[in-house]
Amino acid sequence: MFLHSYEADVDAEGGALETILTAPMVVAQWINCQYYFSTVAPDMFGAGTKTIHNVVGGVGVLAGHGGDLQLGLPRQSLTDGRSFGHEPMRLLTVVQAPLQRIDMVVERNPVLQHLFGNDWVCLVAREGPTTTGSAGPAAVGGAGRPQQPPKTTTRPTRR
């Protein structure tokens, strides 16, 4: 969980909100994707056991002295040997801010349009502390269509 304080009352132009959504939220999505893909497809996107890893150029690892370059997370980062410690699901971002401001920030940033519009990140928003329910996703051209976080149907098998 990543938590950022945001005071909408002192951010009329949305600069602080834009910084939060385009920097730490994007990094959180990168981290989430590493765990997601290493969990749902460990043979393709994981890095196997780290006990035999050899680091290659700071970009990946090899298993032992040869084999394919592996870019994902090692098995020990995902499981204790009995069960997976990460439930593979897309990142959920919850924002409390004026919905028009969220729309404005998303409209200015193609990376946010891509992440929210293609369901890589689920955005749920509400106007303020006294509002109920969610507006999610508030953005992507003001679509405002209600949406549940994407469900993952693929479960990893234990090796």
**Torsion sign over Cα 136, 140, 142, 147:** negative
**What pairs with residue 93 in β-bridges?**
123
Q: Is 114 helix (H, G, I), strand (E, B) or coil?
A: helix
81: left (phi over 0), alpha (psi -120 to 50) or beta: left
Task: Tell me what pLDDT residue 137 has.
Answer: 47
35 CB-side CA count, 13 A:
16
CA atoms of 20 and 148, how far apart (whole Å): 22
What sign does the dihedral 10-13-19-21 (CA atoms) show? positive
Residue of 150, 21, 2, 1 whose CA lies nearest to 86: 1
Residue 137 sits at the vertex; the CA angle it makes with 133 and 142, to the nearest 5 degrees, is: 115
Q: How many residues does the chain have?
A: 159
Instruction: Show pLDDT as tens, one digit a residue, over the chain (159 residues).
Output: 788 999 999 999 999 999 999 999 999 999 999 999 999 998 899 888 888 888 888 788 888 888 888 888 888 888 888 888 878 899 999 999 999 999 999 999 999 999 999 999 999 999 988 886 554 544 444 443 334 444 444 444 444
